[in-house]
Chain A
């Protein structure tokens, strides 16, 4: 009984010391508090407009008819595009595009209206800059809408003509099928609402790991300055020291997690489905696995500042591995496996399923279980590394003592 009690007290004293170290360290506080608070807002502000609106388009009108003017007018009226101007010929339009005065050129051929009048299909070439997919998407949307609405008008005219020629349908109307697209999850279909929920989770993971690595490297620097032993460390068994530190980080991260996962989506009206309690339960193994992963990664960080060199870039890679941008089902086995080794992958997919698609906890069972599994694995690895390090330190320490004795 006393043994258990001693263990628990050592866990708590490690935890208390870690709190002390973290709060006295400006660099770590920057990672633990400033980063999770400020970063989501910065990101949200960048993407907050959600859509690409009013893409400038230049018109080359070789037909100069009422139909082409009407088409251009409707394109101008669309929220996705605006007519930046008319060009006399394609060369002029290309020049405008090279100067980035427009990102698409629409070219009405000479026989455009004549073909429609004759009851034939008129082809309409559109040239679109492909530097940004979102811009292309906007041009495509505007073009599809306008073509469809112009087409419907022309169709109605032609039908009138046809019925005048004595052609009658059964009941007078042509049977049609109505189709309705429905957006799920991210009902605004915007970029911010699609990307940000994933980025939010990633910010939690990255800031946590950065902070843990900086703290651990700080301890290592102190140890180097003090003959291999960190004077600030509390003597405790490896598992107690891991548990104590993990408890400290976990407690620190409760508030940033709630702020990021619940309130940031609220501020910027991103999708807000799912039960808060479910999400909080889901996030427990996420925080734990991230903390233990941080304790593994810190092994490779020898100086406080080298964490910037070795870890900052990984955010981009984790974002890709999570499948938020390029879908996971289209990756090779190699990358899905590697992606599966990081908490962010499971947490992002689970969080998006709950927050955007309103999934309940049982529907994200797989990511949830994987996060617990990762927590267990990373804990064991961190413990193993801790044991090995301890053995090395003891060896060096006794060697140092021995040499001191000899010299003394």
Chain B
């Protein structure tokens, strides 16, 4: 027993020395996740991409069309940066990326409206950029409904209907949308709790794989194993424990700045999210160990880890729900630890439901750790006879 403890102690000491041996590791473990987190949080500091550049094409030039124009200009979501004299001018501005959309008021709009001939206004939105496009669409739609409403209201009031009943006639059903957890519809709240841990998870997977297969590349894996009394488990524990610590601390710093400093929604105890972060780091390390066990070839193992972790940003359902992917694509998301961390975040921090509902996600993260023990025998075999294929 004493011997085992001695071996573990030695192994961890070696692991610490290994992490400190090259600046590469500290850069990858601490600097890259923190810098990425800063970039993403600072980039979207405004919360909502307001003041989308738009244009107005007013071919009518009447009092009514000018009122509509000034209403658009007054909207919070849009910013009228230019007035175009023709459709093609506005289209050119869209193509050059100067504006995201424009509102077109046709010739004789005002006179046709008053004559009751149902004129048509149209609004164009460049959906190649989907976030500003939805904001422009929303703004323009509101304006067109309001323009119609004010016209109808004016007519009905002159016809003798009471003011109150006109409004309810225009809008008999008023839907009140309650956006749970993120009532500001803040984009950083939505993005940062999936993408920033995603980058951390990516680095965990790659650094873990690198530091294991590095021993095989340098043909030092046999000594490494011998130093740990021939136990793969102790060898891995020693090598990975210092990294677990550093990664988890980095993750906690990120969490504290997201939930504490920036005050993003946190409807559970911070300890729950911190525990989830620790489990995420462990599960990613376990996943990397599993991959190394399956293929101890350094390059292939690193390629698989990179492929999975980069695809994870799309396939874990951060932007597109997995129910809306093809089934055989969506199934991959079940083998990605970040997916479970993300689900825990949704349940606990964003929606604040009972911990009971997230039980399976915690268990799933633990399963990753258990599974990693299975291919250890293969890894051990390869460590005894290291082969490096460039």
Beta-carbon contact of B351 and A98 below 8 Å: yes
B195 contacts the other chain (CB 8 A): yes
Q: Report A-chain residues with C-beta under 8 Å of the C-beta of B298.
A: 305
CA distance A358 to B145 in the complex (A): 30
Q: Report A-chain residues with C-beta under 8 Å of the C-beta of B202.
A: 312-313
CA distance A331 to B141 in the complex (A): 26
The contact string, 1 if C-beta is below 8 Å from chain B, for chain A 311-325, is 011011100110111
Q: Report A-chain residues with C-beta under 8 Å of the C-beta of B185.
A: 130, 133, 136
Q: Report B-chain residues with C-beta under 8 Å of the C-beta of A185.
A: 94, 126-128
**Across the two chains, which residue of chain B brings its CB closest to A185?**
B128
Within B89-109, which residues are at the interface with A (CB < 8 Å)?
Answer: 91-92, 94-97, 100-101
The contact string, 1 if C-beta is below 8 Å from chain B, for chain A 1-37, is 0000000000000000000000001110010000000
The contact string, 1 if C-beta is below 8 Å from chain A, for chain B 181-223, is 1100101001100010011001100110010011001000000
Beta-carbon contact of A134 and B390 below 8 Å: no
Within B372-390, which residues are at the interface with A (CB < 8 Å)?
Answer: 389-390
CA distance A53 to B213 in the complex (A): 44
Beta-carbon contact of A358 and B95 below 8 Å: yes
- A218 to chain B minimum Cβ distance, whole angstroms, is 7
Beta-carbon contact of A331 and B329 below 8 Å: no
CA distance A310 to B181 in the complex (A): 35
From A128, A167, A271, give the contact of B159 (CB < 8 A): A167
Beta-carbon contact of B178 and A134 below 8 Å: no
The contact string, 1 if C-beta is below 8 Å from chain B, for chain A 291-317, is 000000000000011101110110111
- A265 to chain B minimum Cβ distance, whole angstroms, is 12
B180 contacts the other chain (CB 8 A): yes
Q: Report B-chain residues with C-beta under 8 Å of the C-beta of A358.
A: 95
Beta-carbon contact of B299 and A27 below 8 Å: yes
**Across the two chains, which residue of chain A brings its CB closest to B333?**
A46
Beta-carbon contact of B320 and A191 below 8 Å: yes
Do A170 and B116 form a contact, CB below 8 Å, given A147-B173, A326-B44, A327-B49? yes
Interface hit among A175-183, A227-235, A238-246, A398-406: A175-183
**Across the two chains, which residue of chain A brings its CB closest to B184?**
A130
The contact string, 1 if C-beta is below 8 Å from chain B, for chain A 30-56, is 100000000000110111110111000
CA distance A168 to B32 in the complex (A): 71
The secondary-structure label for the interface of chain B is helix
Q: Report A-chain residues with C-beta under 8 Å of the C-beta of B324.
A: 49, 51-53
Q: Report A-chain residues with C-beta under 8 Å of the C-beta of B170.
A: 155
The contact string, 1 if C-beta is below 8 Å from chain B, for chain A 212-225, is 00000010000000
Within B303-358, which residues are at the interface with A (CB < 8 Å)?
Answer: 303, 305-306, 309-311, 313-315, 317-321, 324-326, 329, 346-347, 350-351, 353-354, 357
The contact string, 1 if C-beta is below 8 Å from chain A, for chain B 125-158, is 1111111111001001100110110011001100
Count of residues in A whose CB is under 8 Å from the partner chain: 112
Beta-carbon contact of A317 and B326 below 8 Å: no
Beta-carbon contact of B313 and A353 below 8 Å: no
Within B14-67, which residues are at the interface with A (CB < 8 Å)?
Answer: 24, 27-28, 32, 36, 39-40, 42-46, 49-53
Beta-carbon contact of B122 and A184 below 8 Å: no
**Across the two chains, which residue of chain B brings its CB closest to A154?**
B172
Q: Report B-chain residues with C-beta under 8 Å of the C-beta of A119.
A: 165, 168-169
Q: Report B-chain residues with C-beta under 8 Å of the C-beta of A131.
A: 181, 346, 350-351
Q: Report B-chain residues with C-beta under 8 Å of the C-beta of A144.
A: 175
Count of residues in B whose CB is under 8 Å from the partner chain: 123
A237 contacts the other chain (CB 8 A): no
Do A177 and B320 form a contact, CB below 8 Å, given A129-B351, A308-B302? no
Beta-carbon contact of A184 and B171 below 8 Å: no
- Number of contacts between A and B (CB, 8 Å)? 333
**Across the two chains, which residue of chain A brings its CB closest to B347?**
A98
From A123, A194, A309, A321, give the contact of B176 (CB < 8 A): A123
Beta-carbon contact of A168 and B118 below 8 Å: no
Do A45 and B329 form a contact, CB below 8 Å, given A178-B118, A309-B207, A316-B195? yes
Beta-carbon contact of B319 and A310 below 8 Å: no
From A130, A304, A313, give the contact of B203 (CB < 8 A): A313
From A195, A197, A304, A352, give the contact of B390 (CB < 8 A): A304
Beta-carbon contact of B180 and A127 below 8 Å: yes
Q: Report A-chain residues with C-beta under 8 Å of the C-beta of B310.
A: 312, 315-316
B263 contacts the other chain (CB 8 A): no
A150 contacts the other chain (CB 8 A): yes
CA distance A120 to B115 in the complex (A): 29
**Across the two chains, which residue of chain A brings its CB closest to B298?**
A305
A359 contacts the other chain (CB 8 A): yes
Do A305 and B299 form a contact, CB below 8 Å, given A143-B175, A353-B95? yes
B1 contacts the other chain (CB 8 A): no
Give me the 8 closest cross-chain CB pairs, A-B, nearest first.
A179-B144, A185-B128, A359-B95, A356-B128, A186-B127, A175-B116, A130-B182, A98-B353
Q: List 28 A-B contacts (CB under 8 A).
A: A43-B314, A47-B320, A52-B320, A116-B172, A119-B165, A121-B171, A122-B173, A127-B178, A129-B351, A130-B190, A133-B190, A133-B319, A158-B169, A162-B161, A167-B159, A167-B161, A174-B156, A177-B121, A305-B298, A308-B210, A316-B313, A317-B36, A321-B39, A327-B131, A330-B49, A331-B43, A357-B94, A357-B95
Q: Please give 9 more A-B residue pairs, beta carbons under 8 A apart, in addition to A155-B169, A312-B202.
A: A126-B178, A130-B179, A130-B185, A132-B320, A137-B134, A162-B161, A179-B148, A184-B94, A304-B299
Residues of B bordering A, CB below 8 Å? 24, 27-28, 32, 36, 39-40, 42-46, 49-53, 91-92, 94-97, 100-101, 113-134, 137, 140-141, 144-145, 147-148, 151-152, 155-156, 159-161, 165, 167-182, 185, 187, 190-191, 195, 198-199, 202-203, 206-207, 210, 213-214, 217, 298-299, 302-303, 305-306, 309-311, 313-315, 317-321, 324-326, 329, 346-347, 350-351, 353-354, 357, 389-390
